[in-house]
Amino acid sequence: MEKSSINKSRLLFASFFTIVAGGVGFAVRGSILVDWGNQFGFTMTELGSITGGGFAGFGVIIILFSLIVDRVGYKPLLVLAFFVHFLSLLVTVATVYVFDSMGREAAYWCLFSGTFLFAVGNGICESVVNPLVATLYPKAKTHYLNILHAGWPGGMILGGVLSIAFHDILSWEVLMSFFLIPVLIYGVIILKEKLPLSEAKEAGIPYKEMFRQFGSPLLMVLMLLMVLIGYVELGTDSWIQNITGNILENPTKGVLLFIYTSALMFILRFFAGPIVQKISPLGLLFVCSILGAIGLYILGTATTGLIMVFAVTIYGIAKTFFWPTMLGVVGERFPRGGAVVMGFVGGVGMLSAGLLGGPGIGYKQDYFASSKIKTEAPQAYDRYKADDENSFLFFSPIKGLNGSKVAIVKDNGEQLQGDIERWESTGKTVDENDNLNALQTWWSNAEQNAPEDKEPVEQAGFYGAGKALVVTALIPVIMAIGYFVLILYFKKRGGYKQIEI
């Protein structure tokens, strides 16, 4: 295919909107996590598992599809992603009907499956657009990969603004559908445009040579660092709206802070090129790791809005360059690995966010919140604890606070009464809805203690959210050490340089 027939700017634009679609869906899901907890009675750990399942699916798909990108080509895979994105919305919206007919556990798996399918669509896109942009701009990979991934915060800004504007007007099902707008944009462009061969395929590099790159100790170190990036960036992002909203005792303010940090990322990612020319990609990653640790620690200990704005500013600057700059380093140092190597590195980052970051940060919130309330108000804990235990890795199982019960005490049962009235307006009785019936029975027994329970329940949530961020701040400290070692490694070898095929 003649390179002159390839429209680089349009393909970069389409690739950008595949990332925007993921950002919109991610932001909206973050803003409606509380709605899912309230409506279906999920704990923080369960909600973390749902969002984590999305990232885990994202990671697996990136890895699997990166194995076939160079053989199948870019265009067929992006068309497939287009249809999977639509399917994910249908499954997610079906949760409401599944919950009414089959109960809470079935609703959990429906949300998990819908989130997983959304991640499949995102994963297919990610496995394609990273090597595609590297192919389009071989002399400036880090710069253009940062521009490409500006689509992520751009989508999060759009999703966050829409969530604030329409959260009290539209149902969460309608809010969730907003991500279809960028899906339609990238779908139309991809269907019309010609796409190039991958850089590795055009150079005639065989698969054996691509897989041989995994024998490099440097690549193994980069993959381990990507595991930490997935945890601290995407794992934290999946909770940041909820956590800051909890600390500020105002969900809307949490979304506004999320939009603010996303705006920082969106703007700064367009300036990655000049920065890496001065301090190298590894120098940039080292500085960002230090800033990330400082930002998360201050954020976890913040008690006022001004301090929190300062903290999220530092955190927002830090996380801006992690993901795309790491992909740029891999693309520059291992060009003979093609889409396979780049896909594996991105995939392990997503797997880390899904299997470690999302559930781990959710578990930490449950752990610290339940520990505090058990110590200070054990009777309140007995009234608001979840029915089932949650666990994470090798840590001890715990019973977190039931999301529905916490929501009821916060508004003194107003939402529960509204849900009951809406249910009864359909001509059915509360006895026909197991979840509403159980909550109504529980509230009739707990209501008399609500005035004294409300403060310890809210304070437990505040404490758990802050402590979770403080502990998470240890991850970028480890990252900073890793990048510093790599800087010394390259200094002994004459400095960091890009390798060309």
The pLDDT profile of the chain, 501 residues, written as one tens digit per residue, is 444 478 899 999 999 999 999 989 888 887 787 788 777 767 666 777 777 666 666 778 888 998 888 888 899 999 999 999 999 988 988 887 777 677 777 888 888 888 888 989 998 998 999 989 988 988 888 889 989 999 988 998 888 888 888 877 888 888 888 899 999 999 999 999 888 877 777 778 888 888 889 999 999 999 999 999 988 887 676 566 666 665 566 666 666 777 788 888 899 988 877 887 788 899 999 999 999 999 999 988 877 778 888 888 998 899 888 988 999 899 889 988 888 898 899 889 888 887 887 778 888 888 888 888 888 888 888 888 888 787 887 788 888 888 778 888 888 888 788 778 877 776 777 777 777 788 888 888 888 888 888 888 888 888 888 888 899 999 999 999 999 999 999 999 988 888 877
Cα 238 to Cα 33: distance, rounded to the nearest angstrom: 10
Cα 191 to Cα 194: distance, rounded to the nearest angstrom: 8
Cα 244 to Cα 300: distance, rounded to the nearest angstrom: 9
Both tokens assigned to 425: 């307006």
The 10 Å Cβ neighbour count of residue 493 is: 8
Task: Specify whether the CB–CB gap between 203 and 501 falls below 8 A.
Answer: yes
Both tokens assigned to 294: 């400082």
- Which residue, among 343, 280, 333, 323, has the nearest Cα to 500 in the 3D structure? 333
Predicted pLDDT at 1: 45
Strand partners, 385: 401
Cα 129 to Cα 132: distance, rounded to the nearest angstrom: 5
Q: Residue 73: CB partners within 8 Å, gap ≥ 6?
A: 195, 197
pTM, two decimals, is 0.79
Predicted pLDDT at 292: 93
Task: Specify whether the CB–CB gap between 115 and 28 falls below 8 A.
Answer: no
Both tokens assigned to 98: 């599944």
Predicted pLDDT at 381: 86
Cα 406 to Cα 409: distance, rounded to the nearest angstrom: 5
Q: Residue 354: CB partners within 8 Å, gap ≥ 6?
A: 52, 53, 54, 55, 56, 57, 58, 59, 119
Find the helix or strand (DSSP H, E) in which 204 lies: none
Task: Specify whether the CB–CB gap between 267 and 303 falls below 8 A.
Answer: no
Distances (CA, A) of 420 to 96, 173, 369, 424, 435: 15, 19, 29, 6, 10
Find the helix or strand (DSSP H, E) in which 3 lies: none
Task: Specify whether the CB–CB gap between 17 and 185 falls below 8 A.
Answer: yes
Cα 449 to Cα 384: distance, rounded to the nearest angstrom: 11
Predicted pLDDT at 49: 74
Report phi then psi at 94, rounded to 5.
-65, -10
3-state helix, strand, coil split of the chain in percent (to 5) is 85, 0, 15
Predicted pLDDT at 28: 86
Scan for tokens 């715990």, then name that residue.
Answer: 398
Cα 26 to Cα 115: distance, rounded to the nearest angstrom: 10
CA angle, corner 337, sides to 336 and 343, nearest 5?
150
Predicted pLDDT at 78: 94
Strand partners, 390: 398
The amino acid that residue 403 corresponds to is G
Both tokens assigned to 144: 């253009």
